[in-house]
Chains A and B, each alone.
Chain A
C-alpha cells in the first residue's frame, strides 16, 4: 500500500528554472492538496483539488500551477523558481474535502 508518493525527495534549482513536483496516490481519494512548510509557520495551503478536472487556489498560490487530469495524480509546477520558494512541499489526499488528509513524505526544494 503505497499511500501518497512524492517525487523527487530533494531538488536544487537555480533561480528562473522550472520544475514539476509529482504527487500520486493509490487510495482512490477525490481530494488532493499541496502545502508548503516553512520554519515557524506550520503548513500553508498552496492549491487543492476536489476531483479530476477541478482545482482551486489555497492561501499561497502565487508562483505555482496545478492540474488534475486523473484521480491519482496532482502535479505542482513552478514556472520560474524564486529563492522565496525554497521550502519543504507536502502533498496530501483524502476521500473527500472534509475527511482527514494523508500526507506524503515531502519534497525538499532549494532555490539558489
Chain B
C-alpha cells in the first residue's frame, strides 16, 4: 500500500530552537495534513494543505505542500515546552488517509 516516509523519527532540541520535519511519498496526494499527538490522547489537526505550493501558517507553525504533490514539510519556530509530542504527516488519498511514522519531539528546558 501507499507509504509516507517521515523524518526525522525523533528530535531532541533546546527550548527556543526552531524545528523542521518533512514527509515524502512515492504517490501524489491532493491534500496534506499535519497532526500532533500528546501522550494518552488522539491526534489533533494542526494544519491542512490543499494546493501544490501552498504555504500555510498557524501561529508558530508553518507548513508547505510540495510542488510535486509528493512531499510536505512542517516548521516550528521558537519551540516551547508544550510543543513536546509526536507529529504526524498524512496524505489524503482516495477514500482514506495515509500516515507517516511520526516525529517524536523532545525539548530540553
Contact = CB atoms under 8 A, between A and B. Distances in A.
Contact of A40 (B48, B98, B101): B101
Contact of A103 (B42, B92, B101): B42
A42 interface: yes
Contacts, number: 54
A4 B35 CA distance: 16
A100 B88 contact: no
B30 to A, nearest CB: 7
Interface string A72-94: 00000000000000000010100
Contacts of A98: 30-31, 92
Interface of B: 1, 4, 6, 9, 30-31, 33, 35, 40-45, 48, 88, 92, 95-102
